[in-house]
Structure 1
Amino acid sequence: MATSKKKHVKAEEAVVAPVGYTAIPIKFSEEYQSPHYLYVKEHKVREDTDPNKPPNRTLFVLNVPPYCTEECLSRLFSSCCSVQSVEMCGKPTLGEKPEAPKSKFFSTKTLLGFQVAYVVFKSPAGIQAAKSLSTQGPLVISSDKHPVKTGVHKWIARYAASLVDPVELKTEVDTFMQGYDQKVAEEEAKAEEEDGVPDEEGWVRVTRKGRRPGLPRTEAANLRALEREKRKRARKELLNFYAWQHRETKREHIAQLRKKFEEDKQKIALMRAQRKFRPY
């Protein structure tokens, strides 16, 4: 038995971490014998420093298993120093943290597989203390005091959390619609204030409600509009006002049709004479 223990210790010491990282052994529970390794290093970036990840106090963690949650990491590293925050994501991020979803009903996204994490300590001493965990025994994720759900129990808990409370959903939708209606009313009020006011280039805004009234016409524009109306009225003639005018119009139309018919007959007769008429 003693020999097997020595071999186990040698196997743990033989683990080689990537360059710049420190390997910290963990295991899911006390019954597990084979450890899993987290690779950690101090988080440093040259540009776009995120205020949520302050330098000298942020630990970057790789190879986080799916069963390890933010609460688990906070509990594991709290033995080194007080933990301020823990952020987990599918891959390393640059710059500021993405905006949190506004709704828990419509913006849910479950991270699957292995992840990376950013652990922020309240004191810079937490970085070195976390690296020193590599020389200690494996840290336990799930215990009797802090159990972690996996397998079917995890699926059941996730399904139960995905069920929507109708009352809470209705409250959130009503709140959203109130804000939307208020925003639309403000935009309409702003559009009404800008009605008829040209921009810097002299253009007047046109919306789907129709053309907005522009600036008042000048005297020259009014005179031109009156001249156009006079010419239009002069071109108009009062046709078919009397019954005899209506009869004369019909007779002229019939006469034109007969004349056209006779001309067409003559054309057909000429084409027949020239043997160019092929009706079939």
Structure 2
Amino acid sequence: MELASALASCESMIKQGSTTFYKAFGYLPSPRREAVFVIYAFCRMIDDAVDEPERAPYPLDELERSFLELERAEGHFIWSSLRWLFATFPALGQEPFLRQMEGQRRDLRFTHYRTMEELEGYCYLVAGTVGEMLLPVLHDRPGLDVVESGIYLGKAMQIVNIVRDVGEDRDRGRRYVPLELMARHGYSEREFEAGEVNEGLRQVIRELDATAREWFRRGLRDLDTYPPASAFSVELAARFYEAILDEVEGGGYQVYTRRAHVGQLRKLKLLAKIGEKYAPRYLATP
């Protein structure tokens, strides 16, 4: 009963923290579904340790120490949940979780990005690693090509986060939009700090949009190798997230004062469209 309660607590975290991911991955069969919830919950704790340390149950260093001594870790539902996760999916290793912590730790010392290369490295650490975590759960035999696709999908979602949260991040003293990209489109640091929405900013966002969509394309190229339920959930999550880019454009690229989100009607339409696509595969699965 203790494990059941711990897993339920992880589900509660994703339900409260991300309706997009909860909706998309809630269609998975057990135990894949519970495993995704555990991974989300722990990544949420890592993120909160940096962004909201006053509310986080552990500072990042303590979180990492307990993770490295997982068999002895107590005092929070996440530890028994993680022990269950690694026992249930033995192909999953600790390395992507440690790289995720490295990426979040970078936020404490590296807050203004200069190049797309720097930004892509960051996107890998904080989001591409999530793809590496999820693949042993969602895919039965992920080869190198599938792993690369999973990493691209995570990085694409992080670019969407960056586009959506430009204003929030600026208010926290962070600029993920690379300086070289701003310079290429004639958008200055002064304009960024002032929150000016002009053609320069629109061109910056459009280039980030194009990058994200290309990474989504690469991220979804191997879906036919997944079990049908996993492929459905992965594509649904990706399309929900990609739709945020449409909302940014539809909102006139006002990324400083408006946080773009996808409404329920749009999500229902995407659900129906993707559900229709996967229905024959479900019916063909014994």
TM-score calculated relative to the size of structure 1:
0.23
Question: Who wins on radius of gyration, i.e. which is larger?
Answer: 1
Q: Which has the higher contact order (CA 8 A, sep 6+)?
A: 2
Higher helix proportion:
2
TM-score calculated relative to the size of structure 2:
0.23
Higher strand proportion:
1
